[in-house]
Structure 1
Amino acid sequence: MITNFDDYCIHQTAAPIAQPSQSDRNFYDRYWFNGMDAEGTYIFEVGFGLYPNRHVMDGHFSVSTGGRQYAFHGSRRAPHERADTQVGPLAVTVIEPMRQIRVRLAPNEHNIACDLLFTAASIPHEEPPNIMYDDGHLIMHNSRFTQMGYWEGHFEIDGQRFEVSRAFGTRDKSWGVRPVGEPQGGAPGLLSGDPGVYWCWNPINFGDFCTQMGTFEDREGRPTQVSADLLPLYVDPADIPRGEDPGLIEMTQVEHTIVWEKGTRRAASAQVHMVDANGTEYDIALEPLLRFQMLGVGYNHAEWGHAFWKGELETAREEWDLGAMDPLEYQNLHVHQVVRATMGERVGMGTLENIVIGRHARSGFKDFFDGAE
């Protein structure tokens, strides 16, 4: 299975590049992006994944604006060539690694299109690996980096064109193993005893620096993984350091509090408190402005979930009235919100990601799908 990338000195195993180092069918390689304007009138997101052992590549482009959310979905048989990152009319192209990436959704029968260029403003910052076992079986083990930047270009929905000029952007790139696609057969795992997940993630652009925070918690609200850092932002991507940034400030203490919107599991407001090694404190208040449902880019989607086999090439369009969606339906629990952030006199823009499934004592959630009281 020799492909073009085998001509580069990038091999990590004795196998060709197109052959993963492991046979786990849930091995994946994935892009995610979002972009938003300063007024919080729109947010667009992109998801694009390769699942070589499932022979699937899929991609999504979704926009939330004016109380509605629109989504393009596409899926194909995975190509062997790693440079082939296109699903039907949707393509993700690395113009310059870690500096510029183009996302283009060519005009198509679903009347959703875009041509957008992401330009980095920070280093690609590596986050702690996610590791999870189910009764001794490794079901999640991945690496991920997050990078801040800006967008230029446009997107179109049903003939209405939205110009994008220096829109705030965040992206991540992750790879490894995580639960995706159709579930495997055989005996069920043992996580069903007290199932659930709590994840909160919050990258914020403050202009000349950004903050990045993420945490998993157990059912009682105790962090099982938490990290937060402050990183410089750069006007000229040529000035971004290669490797780690000497200006990075690692936090040694991280806490967050969410006030939940009544009857939901999404934030009405939030606070983040961080302390660095020198004892300097950082307090950030978050004000949600706009909601984005993550099923628009495939998360928890019953039909267009990540890595589902759809055939040689299939595409589709969806559209939702955000006000009419049941906030406690399983596929709607995973939410991104555009937030305005205040830290002292500094004001920034960014993303607040929440997914809470199952019991979470610190939030007051007692059952699997109950909302805030």
Structure 2
Amino acid sequence: MLTRGDDYPLHQTSEPIAFAGTDRNFYDRYFFNGYSPDGSVLFAAAMGFYPQLGIVDASFCVILDGVQYNLRASRRSAGERLNLSVGPIILDVDIPLQVLTLHISPNDGPLEGELRFMNRHFPIEEPRFIRRNGTRLFMDYTRMTQNGRWSGWLSVGGEKIELSDGWSGTRDRSWGVRPVGASEPQPPPEGNFNQFFWLWTPCNFGDRSLFFHSNDDGAGSPWNRRGVIAGDSETSEDGTELHFADASYAIQWTPGTRRIARMTAELGHGCALTLSPSGPVFAMSGLGYTHPLWGHGLDHGPELAVAHDSLTEAERGWGNPLAMHIQALVTAELVDGGTTHRGMGVLEQLFVGPHAPTGLAGLMDPVS
């Protein structure tokens, strides 16, 4: 099966580009978020390819006046991996690793827009994520993460919002193996995974970007953790990066939930980070994560499928299964030696099962 990708020097195996290894859970995904300088508007987008499942899906979401508006689309891919459009959601890679544009065409829902992402630095390659569930490979993927500035416009229900100076955010690309599509029909004898602790904290400051993430086991030992400060760069590859391999963190919980009220991190080299939720909470189910009907890689039939819905602020509160996996807009304070930098970012949170150091117990038991 030959596709447009075969005319580019992208092959990783002896097969045509359409064939991505042998694992049915292979995926290749774009993610974006952005926010206004005052934190009143937050948007996010995603597009995922699932070559072994023959599916590509995409989503675009905006929080305005407390309501999260979600646009989702899905189609069958026929093996083509260079058609970056799913119904009304279209992505252009204008300058690889630097400039990308999201087009949200007019549709029968409230969302529309044209949003351009301009990089602040060369992408950060996170350590490879490899995790097994007993003898079964659960995750094996790579992610690159990049902060940037946004321009363009978006519209919600006919209300047009210009993305002027000060709009910033994050985009990432990840690819490899993680659970996608229909549920596993025969889980390993050890059972399906029942513990997952995930923090991800991309932050924008005036002249630098900060990234910290941690995947921990139930005892609190990290199986994937890294901190990075990236300086703004004039061109894509001439910036500076400072990596922190031994960062540690502390969490204060909001009582009665598994949501973070405040997080601090000691990065090393005299650098310390404080994150305080200060704006909207974004439900990642809007982008398909853990969504029962619009989960990643699900087949919606031979025709293009497009759907719209919304979640109020109350519906994104703790206790709704659609809001267990979130990104919270945060104010960020980075102390670097004798200098304090203030900025904004997001604090992504997904906590399933126990985590001894922070007091989590049970499968989804809230902190008292």
TM-score in same-fold range (> 0.5): yes
The amino acid across from 2:84 in the alignment is: T
The amino acid across from 1:331 in the alignment is: L
1:119 deviates by 0.6
1:301-348 residue CA offsets vs partner (Å, 9 max, x unmatched) = 011111011123100001111224451333321110111111243101
C-alpha separation between the residues in 1 aligned to 2:277 and 2:284?
16
1:130 deviates by 0.9
Could you tell me the TM-score, scaled by structure 1's length? 0.93
| 2:317 is the counterpart of 1:321 | no
**Once structures 1 and 2 are overlaid, which stretch shifts more, 256-265 or 117-126?**
256-265
Could you tell me which residue of structure 2 aligns to residue 8 of structure 1? Answer: 8
Answer whether contact 2:200 2:212 (CA < 8 A) is retained: yes
C-alpha separation between the residues in 2 aligned to 1:189 and 1:329?
30
The amino acid across from 2:355 in the alignment is: H
Could you tell me which residue of structure 1 aligns to residue 35 of structure 2? Answer: 36
Could you tell me which residue of structure 1 aligns to residue 219 of structure 2? Answer: 220
C-alpha separation between the residues in 2 aligned to 1:213 and 1:352?
10
Could you tell me which residue of structure 2 aligns to residue 177 of structure 1? Answer: 177
Could you tell me which residue of structure 2 aligns to residue 261 of structure 1? Answer: 254
The amino acid across from 1:52 in the alignment is: P
Question: 1:123-134, aligned counterparts within 5 Å?
Answer: 123-134=122-133
Could you tell me which residue of structure 1 aligns to residue 273 of structure 2? Answer: 284
1:72-111 residue CA offsets vs partner (Å, 9 max, x unmatched) = 0100001433220111011111011011101011011012
The amino acid across from 1:303 in the alignment is: L
The amino acid across from 1:293 in the alignment is: A
1:187 deviates by 4.9
C-alpha separation between the residues in 2 aligned to 1:59 and 1:254?
34
The amino acid across from 1:56 in the alignment is: I
1:252 deviates by 3.5
Could you tell me the TM-score, scaled by structure 2's length? 0.94
Question: 1:122-271, aligned counterparts within 5 Å?
Answer: 122-166=121-165, 167-192=167-192, 195-234=194-233, 236=234, 239-241=235-237, 245=239, 247-271=240-264
1:189 deviates by 4.4
1:166-190 residue CA offsets vs partner (Å, 9 max, x unmatched) = 4111011011110011113235441
Answer whether contact 2:265 2:274 (CA < 8 A) is retained: yes
| 2:363 is the counterpart of 1:363 | no
1:207-251 residue CA offsets vs partner (Å, 9 max, x unmatched) = 2111111111111222222111111113x4xx2217xx5x21111
C-alpha separation between the residues in 2 aligned to 1:368 and 1:360?
10
Q: Per the alignment, do residues 140 and 32 of structure 1 end up closer, same or farther by CA in structure 2, a change over 3 Å counting?
A: same
Question: 1:38-57, aligned counterparts within 5 Å?
Answer: 38-57=37-56
Could you tell me which residue of structure 1 aligns to residue 26 of structure 2? Answer: 27
- SS of match in other structure, 1:268: strand
Answer whether contact 1:259 1:267 (CA < 8 A) is retained: yes
1:140 deviates by 1.1
Answer whether contact 2:283 2:316 (CA < 8 A) is retained: no
1:117 deviates by 0.4
Q: Per the alignment, do residues 177 and 210 of structure 1 end up closer, same or farther by CA in structure 2, a change over 3 Å counting?
A: same
- SS of match in other structure, 1:295: helix
- SS of match in other structure, 1:362: helix
Misfit runs of 4+, over 4 Å: none
C-alpha separation between the residues in 1 aligned to 2:245 and 2:32?
28
C-alpha separation between the residues in 1 aligned to 2:324 and 2:64?
19
C-alpha separation between the residues in 2 aligned to 1:324 and 1:352?
19
Q: Per the alignment, do residues 227 and 66 of structure 1 end up closer, same or farther by CA in structure 2, a change over 3 Å counting?
A: same
**Once structures 1 and 2 are overlaid, which stretch shifts more, 168-177 or 157-166?**
157-166
Q: Sequence identity, in percent?
A: 34
The amino acid across from 1:335 in the alignment is: I
**Residue from 280, 286, 305 that aligns with 1:296:** 286
> Structure 2, unaligned stretches of length 5 or more?
none
1:185-214 residue CA offsets vs partner (Å, 9 max, x unmatched) = 23544144x712100111111121111111
| 2:266 is the counterpart of 1:273 | yes
**Residue from 294, 307, 324 that aligns with 1:333:** 324
1:356 deviates by 0.4
Q: Per the alignment, do residues 58 and 201 of structure 1 end up closer, same or farther by CA in structure 2, a change over 3 Å counting?
A: same
CA RMSD for the aligned pairs?
Answer: 1.6
C-alpha separation between the residues in 2 aligned to 1:343 and 1:96?
31
C-alpha separation between the residues in 2 aligned to 1:324 and 1:185?
31
